[in-house]
Amino acid sequence: MIIYGRNVIKEALNAKVHLSRVYMVDSKNLSQEMKQLENHIRHLKITIEKVDEKKLDAISHSKDHQGIAAKVKTYNYSDTQEILKRIDHDPFILILDRVQDPHNFGAIIRSAYGSGVDFIIIPERGGCPVTPAVLKTSAGYAFKMPICVEKNLARSVEELKKRGVWVYSAVMDGIPYDKMDLRGPIALIFGNEGDGVRKLLIEKSDGKISIPMARKMDSLNVSVSVAIMAFRVMEARRSANS
């Protein structure tokens, strides 16, 4: 897989992801940031290939590479059970039920990191996996945020409930979050951009949660909804600990 973007490469290096080769734009006017990055990569004895802008567009299949790309074996997904064992506090989990758009997924990862989400669960089929575009939009935070793939989200919900996690589906007709107790172990399910959370998952959940609105609207973008709710959960958890 080819990953690209300055923050993505930096976070990959921080996370000790093995880069088998780095491609950098061949320019005499590299920024200070890029020069430092180049030195750091050379220091790690990773091969750097200098290419022109067009070649880099072709290598990364994007124009968003910011002058740098790298070859990695694959994105390392995490294991739900392992993470749950490792967490020593009430977990805060996001479940994405078939989010399709890589930009939405990337933005969700970034907000999840900032709001203290412990890990994200995505389904094996029907949703966007971690692609180079997802990594780029996440500003590299996908390398810091554990992402788990599960075959059967309904079963995952059941298992989380058995472990005492409260699971809520984010829908338009749920209970406004300001009327709910968001402290303790919690998982929020967000649905597909078009048709939301699947009925089966809503039924398996402990309840439905909504964003209170000042005016009637069809819906908010899923990445915006996640950000609003995740930071609200963070606030509730903080007030519980203080």
CB of 138 to a copy of itself, least distance (A): 11
> Quick one: which of 5, 211, 222, 241 contacts a copy of itself (CB under 8 A)?
211
Region of 26-34, 54-62, 123-131, 213-221 interacting with a copy of itself (CB under 8 A): 213-221
The mark string for 53-92 relative to a copy of itself (x by CB under 8 A, - otherwise) is ----------------------------------------
In the set 58, 86, 114, 126, which binds a copy of itself (CB under 8 A)? 114
SS3 73: coil
Q: Classify strands 2-4 and 48-51 as parallel, antiparallel or unpaired.
A: unpaired
Question: Of 43 and 215, which CB lies nearer to a copy of itself in the complex structure?
Answer: 215
Position 213 contacts a copy of itself (CB under 8 A): yes
- Give the burial class of 183: count Cβ atoms within 10 A of its Cβ; 0-12 exposed, 13-18 middle, 19 or more buried: middle
Please report, for residues 130, 148, 173, 190, 222, the alpha-carbon distance to residue 213 in angstroms, rounded to integers and kept in the order given. Answer: 31, 32, 11, 17, 15
Q: Among 35, 82, 238, 240, indicate the residue that binds a copy of itself (CB under 8 A).
A: 238
The answer to whether residue 231 forms part of the interface with a copy of itself (CB under 8 A) is yes
Task: Choose one: 33-41, 75-83, 120-128, 210-218; the region binding a copy of itself (CB under 8 A).
Answer: 210-218
Which residue in 66, 111, 205, 210 binds a copy of itself (CB under 8 A)?
A: 111
Which one of the spans 81-89, 119-127, 193-201, 229-237 is the region binding a copy of itself (CB under 8 A)? Answer: 229-237
166 binds a copy of itself (CB under 8 A): no
List 82, 203, 235, 240, residue binding a copy of itself (CB under 8 A): 235
Instruction: Tell me the three state secondary structure of residue 171.
Output: strand
Instruction: Check binding of 218 to a copy of itself (CB under 8 A).
Output: yes
**Residue of 74, 18, 67 lying closest to 47 (CA atoms):** 18
How far is Cα of residue 174 from the mean position of the Cα atoms in its chain? Answer: 24
Per CB under 8 A, does 138 bind a copy of itself? no
Q: Do residues 84 and 118 lie in contact, with contact meaning Cβ atoms separated by under 8 Å? A: no
Which alpha helices (H) appear in the chain, and where do they start and end?
A: 6-14, 32-43, 53-60, 80-86, 102-114, 132-137, 153-162, 199-204, 222-241
Joined tokens for residue 84: 């749950």
Closer to a copy of itself at the Cβ: 51 or 228? 228
Residues 19/149, Cβ–Cβ less than 8 Å: no
For 102, phi then psi, to 5°, come to -60, -30
Cβ 209 vs Cβ 188: under 8 Å: yes
Where along the sequence are the contacts to a copy of itself (CB under 8 A)? Answer: 7, 107, 110-111, 113-116, 139, 141, 178, 211-215, 217-218, 220-221, 223-224, 227-228, 231-232, 234-235, 238-239
